[in-house]
Amino acid sequence: MSLRPNARTEVRRSKYKVAVDAEEGRRRREDNMVEIRKNRREEGLLKKRREGLQAQQFQPTVNVPQQVDKKVKKHAYD
């Protein structure tokens, strides 16, 4: 069984150590970066939402029904 030198090195390389596939490695890195970007974006949106809710809580809201307001004006002119 005669192996060519290139074939020999390929057999030896495949048996000695599992090589990392370039395409697989690239795909994993891209997937990881996409996941990181999604997480950062989601964190930013959550932060903005929390800040918006806090701003709403500190603003005094005065809800005066229109009927009460009309009665007050009517009695003021009597």
Range of the domain at 37: 20-76
* pTM listed for this prediction: 0.46
Decide if 8 is inside a domain.
no
Residues 3, 11 contacting (CB under 8 angstroms):
yes
Place of tokens 């997480």: 39
Q: Tokens 């599992």, residue?
A: 18
Residue at 39 is within a domain: yes
pLDDT score recorded for residue 66: 61
**65, two tokens:** 């029904």
**Structural domain includes residue 12:** no
Instruction: Give how far Cα 73 sits from Cα of 22, 61, 66, Å.
Output: 79, 21, 11
Domain count, the chain: 1
Rounded to 5 degrees, what are φ and ψ at 10?
A: -65, -45
| CA neighbor of 55 nearest in space, from 47, 65, 63 | 47
Tens-place pLDDT, residues 13-36: 777 666 678 899 999 999 999 999
Does a structural domain hold residue 14? no
